[in-house]
Amino acid sequence: MITTAFIVEYNPFHNGHKLHLEKSKQITNATHCIGIMSGNFIQRGGPALFDKWHRAALAVKNGVDLVIELPVLFASQSSEIFAKGSISILNQLNMVDNLVFGSESNDVESLLMASELLANESELLSNSIKENLKLGIPYPKARENALKAISKVDLSTTSNDILGLEYTKQLILQKSSITPHTIKRTGSTYNSLDLVGQICSATAIREQLKTTLDINLQNFVPLPTYAMLEELVKLDKIIHDESFFEFIRYNIICNLDRLSDIFDVNEGLHNKIYKAALTSSTLDELASSIKSKRFTYTRIKRILFNILLEITKSDMNIIINTTSPAPYVRVLAFNQKGTELLNLMKKTSSIPIINKVSAFTPETELQRISFNYDTKATRIYNLINRTSKKAFDLGSNLDQDYYKSPVFIK
């Protein structure tokens, strides 16, 4: 068995993901593949278009053998924390051979070289990053400048290279035996809104879905994805960031005295957030009025959803200060090959495997913290996502983590 893993969001699964999956299997000679996927809230700061079970099922229908969930404390944070949690879980499975990710540079050797420098951060590199930050330069660009000045390693600050750098850094820090590979990203850039060619960004698809399910989307997503999107649009069950605006604003207004306890709310930002919440009429307006050179729009979006989920500094510090913070493995969807992976995983995994949430009892502080946030995130997501339509029935109970079983795809 040769097992290849991917760290994904599939929001939604599109032609670029399909191409990445097929190429990854080819270059690693994979017999089995695992996707570790964000749940109902994602890394850019916001909710997923539709729930984690349906996204996981789509991934399996399109060729992934097993989909496991990346806990929300990792999935909804910066690239560094996102990567730390993902690599930690994959590493603790003790059966993953390869990790394949897309990148703009397609240069895994440069990524590894830069990762070595960051993992063993010298005082010279650290001081150079700090000097860049003092100029108001966002951290990814400050780090890029420092690396280029000190080591001549030239990395773009495009999104996939940033994530790739974090993945390879965590592989080094966690002394992982997983081999990293990269595939050059093709088609539109990560944040492009253009629907051109056959491969466009997930961002462009999400923007299109804010208005209508245009027939042209059939050109950009596999048939199973299109069929599900078509049904979700009919049910009016596509979830967008703005759906949670009033919940976020309510939390801000009612909890001014506790805003400074929320993770990443620093440098007096709580007062600025509060004042902006009093006058903003949309989530985009709120985030735009708070952002600055130091706090980018995306970072502010993550902070606002930290407020929604009430993710605290004290809980995140436990995650950040643990070298390998994998709490457990949560199974979302699988096929027959996925069953083979799960059977092996039961023998090799260093952390608990959760098939049935109601049967799981957290045994460590790390598990308790992560489990509480994961189940809370599902409840909050389902405040918007509930429907009485049978095709996507979530019932009246918000605690779907306790009632929804992993999806088996024949």
Give the Cα separation of 336 and 164 in Å (integer).
30
Annotated binding site for ATP: 7-20, 102, 160, 185
Q: Is 245 exposed, middle or buried (0-12, 13-18, 19+ CB in 10 A)?
A: buried
| Contacts for 77 with CB less than 8 Å, ≥ 6 apart | 43, 263, 302, 316
Q: Which two tokens stand for residue 83?
A: 């990567």
Helix ranges, 235-335 (H): 245-254, 269-279, 283-290, 297-309, 313-320
Say which amino acid occupies 263: F
Cβ(354)–Cβ(360) under 8 Å?
yes
- 330's CB contacts (< 8 A; 6+ apart) are 68, 69, 71, 354, 357, 374
Distances (CA, A) of 157 to 11, 143, 188, 262: 22, 9, 16, 27
Joined together, the tokens standing for residue 80 give 């560094």
397 alpha-carbon distance from chain centroid: 25
> Measured between alpha carbons, how far is residue 124 from residues 47, 147, 227, 368 in Å?
39, 10, 54, 39
- Cite the annotated binding site by residue number: 7-20, 102, 160, 185
Closest listed residue to residue 86, CA positions, set 104, 107, 71, 102: 71
Beta bridge pairs of residue 33:
4
Give the separation between CA 291 and CA 276, rounded to whole angstroms. 11
Q: Are 283 and 276 in contact (CB under 8 A)?
A: no
Check: CB of residue 221 under 8 Å from CB of residue 14: yes
For the CA atoms of 24, 163, 205, 292, the dihedral, rounded to the nearest 10 degrees, stands at -170
In a 10 Å sphere around its CB, with 0-12 CB exposed, 13-18 middle and 19+ buried, how is residue 362 labelled?
Answer: middle
